[in-house]
């Protein structure tokens, strides 16, 4: 399961080639990763200099190295030198994984008719919809997004956030 490890940062202890499948980070960062990631848990890291970066997904541990899946979120596998900054990153893939793994249950929405939206003032709308039936694993429904595109989701109520 995806784990967000806010505040996690460190640096490369060994240079990283473009084809390497593991990174060697400083001892403090490695210890924090081992504490934060159990079993099949994973997170995303950004390896960056002042001019370039790459996002990787952790994929377990091999001895004192962190196995990674390279070139995530549209980045390219690159070479980085010793001392390059490595830190947790909440990128597109991390957000998508978090939503898919932790928050969404099954949701079915039925209804018909015209939705009417009235703009009352900037950023203030009244939305009228004919009766809608929502069937969910949860007794709560999240509504998000921005006008005119709204998203309904049903959070799981048990086992969602280990």
Q: Are residues 94 and 118 in the same domain?
A: no
Task: Look up the domain containing 111 and give its range.
Answer: 104-153
120 is a domain residue: yes
Q: Is 122 helix (H, G, I), strand (E, B) or coil?
A: coil
Q: What are the CA-CA distances from residue 90 to residues 73, 139, 161 (Å)?
A: 11, 29, 17
Which tokens belong to 94? 């991390």
pLDDT of residue 126: 72
Q: Are residues 19 and 94 in the same domain?
A: yes
Pick out the chain residues at pLDDT < 50: 107, 157-162
Is 142 within 8 Å of 112 (Cβ atoms)? no
Residue 90 CA to residue 104 CA, distance in Å, equals: 19
Is 160 within 8 Å of 144 (Cβ atoms)? no
pLDDT of residue 100: 74
Q: How many domains would you assign to the chain?
A: 2
148 is a domain residue: yes
What pTM value is reported for the model? 0.65
Q: Are residues 43 and 97 in the same domain?
A: yes
Q: Are residues 97 and 123 in the same domain?
A: no
Residue 121 CA to residue 138 CA, distance in Å, equals: 33
pLDDT of residue 162: 46
What's phi and psi for 50, nearest 5 deg?
-70, -15
pLDDT of residue 154: 58
Instruction: Find where tokens 């950004």 sit.
Output: 46
pLDDT of residue 160: 45
Instruction: Find where tokens 């210890």 sit.
Output: 31
pLDDT of residue 147: 53
Closest CA to 8 of 37, 51, 38: 37
Q: Are residues 92 and 80 in the same domain?
A: yes
pLDDT of residue 97: 82
In tens, the pLDDT along 2-27 reads 999 999 999 999 999 999 999 999 99
2 is a domain residue: no
């Amino acid at each position: 399961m995806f784990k967000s490890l806010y505040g996690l940062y460190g640096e490369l202890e060994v240079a990283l080639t473009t084809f390497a499948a593991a990174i060697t980070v400083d001892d403090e960062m490695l210890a924090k990763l081992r504490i934060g990631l159990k079993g099949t848990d994973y997170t995303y890291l950004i390896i960056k200099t002042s001019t370039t970066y790459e996002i990787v997904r952790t994929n377990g541990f091999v001895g004192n190295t962190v196995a990674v899946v390279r070139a995530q979120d549209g980045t390219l596998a690159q070479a980085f030198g010793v001392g390059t900054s490595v830190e947790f990153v909440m990128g597109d893939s991390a957000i998508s994984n978090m939503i898919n793994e932790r928050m969404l249950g099954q949701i079915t929405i039925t209804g018909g008719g015209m939705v009417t939206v009235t703009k009352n003032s900037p950023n203030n709308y009244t939305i009228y919809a004919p009766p809608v039936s929502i069937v969910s694993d949860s007794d709560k429904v999240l509504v998000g997004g921005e006008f005119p595109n709204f998203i309904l989701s049903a959070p799981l109520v048990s086992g969602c956030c280990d």
